[in-house]
Amino acid sequence: MAFAPPVLEIRGLHKAYGQLEVLKGVDLTARQGQVISLIGSSGSGKSTLLRCANLLEDSQQGDILFCEEAVHWRGAGHNRRPADAAQITRIRTNLSMVFQSFNLWSHMTILQNVMEAPVQVLRRDPKEVEAKARDYLEKVGIGDKANAWPAELSGGQQQRAAIARALCMEPKALLFDEPTSALDPELEQEVIRVIKALAQEGRTMVIVTHDMNLARDVSDHVIFLHQGLIEEEGAPDALFGSPKSERLRGFLSATSH
């Protein structure tokens, strides 16, 4: 079977904060239509990897490719920075990030929040964007909240608005950073339903999650990070059903309680 082309590739990525090495040479390939989950304990480097992929954080070494186009760098080590501002904007607008803490603008309605980036960053026609934004709000189940303010929504509704906002950019891939960890269990389920529906549509997604059921249910590939390195990776059935590494076994037994 022919593989779909990669949307995001990371090769040998290193990231340190001063002396603290958070990523010590990590590889990741997310192909078109693939869902990859990153699991691991706090401090293992999962969220940092996602932020480096989206160029929200500078990495010190390694390659990042978006649709087979490599990010251009200047400088080296702690002085390494992306060299091409236009390239960064193009990549970021195609890798929409959904954060743990929603990050909605409190002074804008839900509809305005969803429309803001396509209109301001992509310079799209506001009327077209509004029609799409309303469609995406319907898709995530909060079409009736278009004119509400973020403060009037539950956490689960706010996170679904954040997903609609990410979708409205019509990105090549979605990056989720612990999308359910700030939510109560019943609100969490609302968001998980949306993520599962997106996976079934064949959207490319990379999900950092503490929810092992979500990782098992939606992923094509799961990566277990431990102290900045990939300890084990593979299909969810293999990883959760018969983990090879002692560390992964320990992690899974700790998270199943």
pLDDT band at residue 1, thresholds of 50, 70 and 90? very low
Quick check: 192 and 140 in contact, CB under 8 A? no
Which residue segments constitute the domains of the chain, with CATH numbers given?
6-255 (3.40.50.300)
Mean pLDDT of 32-60: 94
Over residues 192-213, the pLDDT tens digits come to 999 999 999 999 999 999 999 9
Mean pLDDT of 67-75: 95
Percentage of the chain surpassing pLDDT 70?
99
Q: What is the pLDDT of residue 103?
A: 87
| Radius of gyration of the chain measured on its C-alpha atoms | 18
Give the global pTM. 0.94
| Nearest of 171, 203, 28 to residue 92 by alpha carbon | 171
Q: How far apart are CA 8 and CA 204, in angstroms?
A: 9
Residue 15 has pLDDT above 60, yes or no: yes
DSSP assignment of 147-209 equals TS-GGGS-HHHHHHHHHHHHHHT--SEEEEESTTTTS-HHHHHHHHHHHHHHHHTT--EEEE-
What residue ranges in the chain does DSSP mark as E strands?
6-17, 20-31, 35-39, 61-66, 69-70, 73-74, 81-82, 95-98, 173-177, 205-208, 221-226, 229-234
Over residues 163-192, the pLDDT tens digits come to 999 999 999 999 999 999 888 888 899 999
